[in-house]
C-alpha cells in the first residue's frame, strides 16, 4: 500500500497515525521531497476527476495568482498547476489492493480495513 501526500500536512499526519495504529504496512510518497509523477497524477485525475484531486480549499490554492486560478479549466491545466504546486493536490491519496482512496475519512477507512480493502 502506498500513501501520497505531504509530511507536515495535518490530514496526512492523521491518516498515517490511523494506519500505524491499525498495523497497516505502507510506504509514503512525500510530494515535497519526491515530486509529483505526471503519469501517476494523470491516473488519479482519471479515476477521481481533476476537480476532486485539485484542492481549491487549501491555503496554497488561495495564494495563487488569480491568473493561474482562472487558467484551470480542464484536466490538463489542473494537472499543470498541481505539478508546479504539489500542495494543491488533495491529500492523502492512497493506493491499496485494487482500490484507491482520496482524502481521509476515518469511518470509511475503518470499514475498508474490515473489508480487507485497505492493506
Q: Rounded distance, CA 38 to CA 26, Å?
A: 22
- In the residue annotation, 104 being an active-site residue is answered as no
Q: What values do phi and psi take at 99, rounded to 5?
A: -145, 135
Catalytic one of 9, 36, 81, 82? 9
CA atoms within 13 A on the CB side of 15: 28
Q: Which residues are catalytic?
A: 9
Amino acid at each position: 500500500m502506498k500513501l501520497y501526500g505531504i509530511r507536515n500536512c495535518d490530514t496526512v499526519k492523521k491518516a498515517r497515525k490511523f494506519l500505524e495504529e491499525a498495523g497497516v504496512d505502507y510506504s509514503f510518497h512525500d510530494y515535497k521531497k519526491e515530486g509529483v509523477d505526471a503519469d501517476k497524477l494523470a491516473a488519479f485525475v482519471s479515476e477521481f476527476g481533476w476537480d476532486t484531486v485539485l484542492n481549491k480549499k487549501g491555503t496554497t490554492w488561495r495564494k495563487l495568482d488569480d491568473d493561474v486560478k482562472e487558467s484551470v479549466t480542464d484536466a490538463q491545466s489542473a494537472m499543470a498547476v498541481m505539478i508546479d504546486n504539489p500542495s494543491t493536490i488533495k491529500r492523502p491519496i492512497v493506493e491499496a489492493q485494487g482500490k484507491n482512496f482520496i482524502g481521509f475519512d476515518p469511518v470509511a477507512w475503518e470499514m475498508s480495513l474490515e473489508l480487507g480493502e485497505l492493506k
